Amino acid sequence: MTTLFVYGTLKRGGSNHAHLAGQKFLGQARTAAGYTLVSLGAYPGLVLSPEDREGVTGELWSVDDPCLAHLDEFEGMAENLYRRAEIPLATPCSHGFVAPIETYFYARPIAGRPHLGPMWPV
């Protein structure tokens, strides 16, 4: 099992939430400062942002290996659209999650992409 931080269309109520069917919702969470969202049109991308002081809001999910493999494909890891890596959460976070926490980082240049700040609305 992997603990995954989701912040965009995979969140509950999001257009791609069905990809998490059968997985366990652990609760709301926020990343540590230093991350922000950029607009990629119909979905966001999470990127490093040294000037950020808020972090990004999202959800924690416990996902099994088959779901994680499916999400890796869905998120375009083979095409270098996203990369999955560990991300620190803001403290305190008392969801009883198992570290490390992973998320999908946008892996392409962000020049010209509108910055969205800490939250993608669903």
- For 74-86, the pLDDT digits (tens) are 999 999 999 999 9
pTM (two decimals):
0.93
**What is the b/e burial string over 60-74, where b = at least 16 CB atoms within 10 angstroms of the residue's CB?**
bbbbeeebbeebeee
Rounded to 5 degrees, what are φ and ψ at 7?
-135, 0
At 97 the pLDDT is 57
CATH architecture of the domain with range 2-116: Roll (3.10)
* Catalytic pick among 73, 75, 79, 102: 75
- Distance CA(65)–CA(8), nearest Å, equals 21
At 115 the pLDDT is 92
Active site residue 75: yes
Tens of pLDDT along 38-52? Answer: 999 999 999 999 999
Domain parsing of the chain, residue ranges: 2-116
